[in-house]
Chains A and B, each alone.
Chain A
Amino acid sequence: DAGVIQSPRHEVTEMGQEVTLRCKPISGHDYLFWYRQTMMRGLELLIYFNNNVPIDDSGMPEDRFSAKMPNASFSTLKIQPSEPRDSAVYFCASSLNSYEQYFGPGTRLTVT
């Protein structure tokens, strides 16, 4: 398996623009997690899905953030409108039965 795939790897955008991050989990995994990493706050969970259903979105910072998982092999995290404070590395991870989690390479987002 190719592991968790994320795209794009780097994204630079201007404040106010819409940003969409994409994730393909490992085939067969039933849990998908979106994390954000910053120097100030470390790694924090934004939202996670089980069998494509959002289970806990309490970590989503604001209504500007939304996430979807239309099928078992694809998820998106959207920020609209983006702000400079959203600049961070966004990681997607997947697991089977929520045990060992496998992380993607991350998307480094810079909002100017």
Chain B
Amino acid sequence: KQEVTQIPAALSVPEGENLVLNCSFTDSAIYNLQWFRQDPGKGLTSLLLIQSSQREQTSGRLNASLDKSSGRSTLYIAASQPGDSATYLCAGGPSGSARQLTFGSGTQLTVLP
């Protein structure tokens, strides 16, 4: 069964810093790795999807990488802004016959002005 872990659980940085959020997973046979953002009391917004044949994806100031052999993914945020403050969730899947996503518990990011 897929397990996904995110460290740290919370992170506070000053505005302008570059930062990295970490995600690890146990089943390297995943088809893709998806990063989401969740604002308080809101739904999930998909940020980046890395398919198994890819190693990274970029969107604006965000870059996500995937290393299936080590069971790790990272989300890099460049030049952080207060508007980036949110909880970031990574989710692995599908894997094997399971089609659903398995979520990590998230990293709560606070960017201080």
Query: Which residues from chain A sit less than 8 Å from chain B, CB to CB?
Result: 31, 33, 42-45, 48, 50, 55-56, 91, 93, 98-106, 108
Contact = CB atoms under 8 A, between A and B. Distances in A.
A98 B95 CA distance: 11
B44 A103 contact: yes
Can you list the 5 inter-chain pairs with the closest CB atoms, starting with the nearest? A98-B99, A43-B103, A103-B44, A105-B43, A45-B100
A105 to B, nearest CB: 4
B51 interface: yes
Contacts of B98: 56
A13 B26 CA distance: 39
A42 B106 contact: yes
29 contacts: A31-B99, A33-B101, A42-B103, A42-B104, A42-B106, A43-B91, A43-B103, A44-B103, A45-B100, A55-B99, A56-B100, A91-B44, A98-B31, A98-B99, A99-B31, A99-B32, A99-B51, A100-B46, A100-B49, A101-B34, A101-B91, A102-B46, A103-B36, A103-B44, A103-B45, A103-B46, A104-B43, A105-B42, A106-B43
A38 to B, nearest CB: 11
Given A99-B31, A99-B32, A106-B43, A33 B100 contact: yes
Interface of B: 31-32, 34, 36, 41-46, 49, 51, 89, 91, 94, 98-106
B99 A43 contact: no
A90 to B, nearest CB: 11
Given A31-B99, A106-B42, 14 more contacts: A33-B101, A42-B104, A42-B105, A42-B106, A43-B91, A48-B99, A50-B99, A56-B100, A100-B46, A102-B46, A103-B36, A105-B42, A106-B43, A108-B41
